[in-house]
Amino acid sequence: MKIKNLLLFPIVALTLFGCTDNDDEADIPKAPEPQLIVKFKFDPTQVRLNNLGQPSTVTAGNAAQSPIFNTIASHYLEFSPSATTQLGSGTILYHGQETTAGGLNAFDFSQAKIVAEGEAFLSIPLSQIQAGSYEWVRCSLSYQNYDINVRSAGVDYVGTLASFVGSRTYITTHNIGNYPFVVNGNRDQGYWAFGLQGVNYSTSGQTPAGATTVPNPLSGQSDIPANSCVVTGKFANNLVITGAETSNIEVTLSLSINNSFEWNEVNVDGKYEPSAGENVVDMGLRGLIPSYVR
């Protein structure tokens, strides 16, 4: 009996030690998986482009200013390998929620992810992205929130403007500071709402159909739908994803806000004066330059 017990001891000991080793391994935290991180940047000095992606100036009879951006939202993000890759045929990284609650299919503003400059808009494992070499970025912008300068009766004020530049957006209620705007329906591209800071005044309106600038340097090669807000930009050097990355890749989408808020002048003084009947005509972003760091 003693000999049998001695023979059993190594087996029991190995079993116990084996269990302890497995438990120790389970306690070791796994290294975080490398991510693709996407952020926005707002640049008032970046070249100002037209719908064809060519440098442009403010239309005669209009005036414009570069707003101070607070936040932005995107509804769609795609990496495209070449200039001839049609919209939707690249690698789709993000597609926001949509709804038919307002009748026609529309972006669901209540589900929008709204971020400030430098804040991560998107973070997804690189292992989930199709390996390849990407030359272009296509980003559908849906919402902007920024501060602008306003003049009324010779007095200058600062106000905050919410700009809905997506093709169609379903909105219940949205707020600008302490000003609630009850919509409960769809709004087409170019709907805006405005509230003065420190003064009890708010209003809303709609820019003309098709007036929102959406720069697409690939016009004629890879077009975008009418009244969309799919801004297109090119990497200086292709972004190559191998699928074997060991560290994060951070992509910055630099948006030109160079005189991006434009209105029709009544009093020719370069000041936005809604009380004088000056109407907003364009709130489109004026270009996209994507870049990345590994």
What are the pLDDT digits (tens) for 260-290? 999 999 999 999 998 899 999 999 999 999 9
| For residue 241, pLDDT beyond 70 | yes
How sure is the predictor about 3, in pLDDT bands with cuts at 50, 70 and 90? very low
Segment 153-169 shows an average pLDDT of 95
Taking 70 as the threshold, does the pLDDT of residue 206 lie above it?
A: yes
Give the residue from 22, 66, 12 showing the smallest Cα distance to 42. 66
Q: Structural domain tally of the chain?
A: 1
173 CA to centre of own chain: 21
In a domain, 27, yes or no: no
Is the pLDDT assigned to residue 107 strictly greater than 90?
Answer: yes
The answer as to whether 17 is a domain residue is no
Residue-level pLDDT at 26: 61
Q: Name the nearest CA neighbour of 263 among 255, 273, 250, 252.
A: 273
Give this prediction's pTM.
0.89
* Cα–Cα nearest to 237, from 249, 255, 220, 219: 249
Q: What is the mean pLDDT of residues 132-144?
A: 98
First to last CA, the chain: 66
Say yes or no to pLDDT of 175 above 80: yes
Residue 190 lies in a domain: yes
Assign 21 a pLDDT band (cuts: 50, 70, 90). Answer: low
Strand 280-282 to 261-264 pairing: antiparallel
Q: Which pLDDT belongs to residue 142?
A: 97
Q: How many residues are there in the chain?
A: 294
227 and 142 in contact (C-beta within 8 Å)? Answer: no
- Please report whether residue 119 resides in a domain: yes
Average pLDDT over residues 168-173: 98
Positive/negative CA dihedral, 138, 281, 161, 227 = negative
Whether the Cβ atoms of residue 239 and residue 134 lie closer than 8 Å to each other? yes
| HEC assignment per residue over 67-123 | CEEEEEEEEEEEEECCCCCCCCCCEEEEECCEECCCCCCEEEHHHCCEECCCCEEEE
Please say whether the beta carbons of 51 and 216 come within 8 A.
yes
The arithmetic mean of pLDDT across residues 224-234, rounded, is 93
Domain coverage including residue 56: 35-293
pLDDT of residue 215: 97
Whether 13 maps to a domain, the answer reads no
Lowest mean pLDDT among 5-9, 42-46, 105-109, 136-140: 5-9
Confidence (pLDDT) at 19: 47
Q: What average pLDDT does range 1-27 have in this prediction? A: 48
Does residue 254 lie within any of the structural domains?
Answer: yes
Comparing 13 with 244, which gets the higher pLDDT?
A: 244
9 in a structural domain: no
Helices then strands (H, E): number in the chain? 1, 19
Question: Is 25 within the bounds of a domain?
Answer: no
pLDDT tens, position by position, 29-83? 677 899 999 999 999 999 999 999 999 999 999 999 999 999 999 999 999 999 9
| Average per-residue pLDDT for the chain | 91
- Work out the pLDDT band at 23, boundaries 50, 70, 90: low
How high is the pLDDT of residue 275? 87
Judge whether 191 and 168 are in contact, CB under 8 Å: no
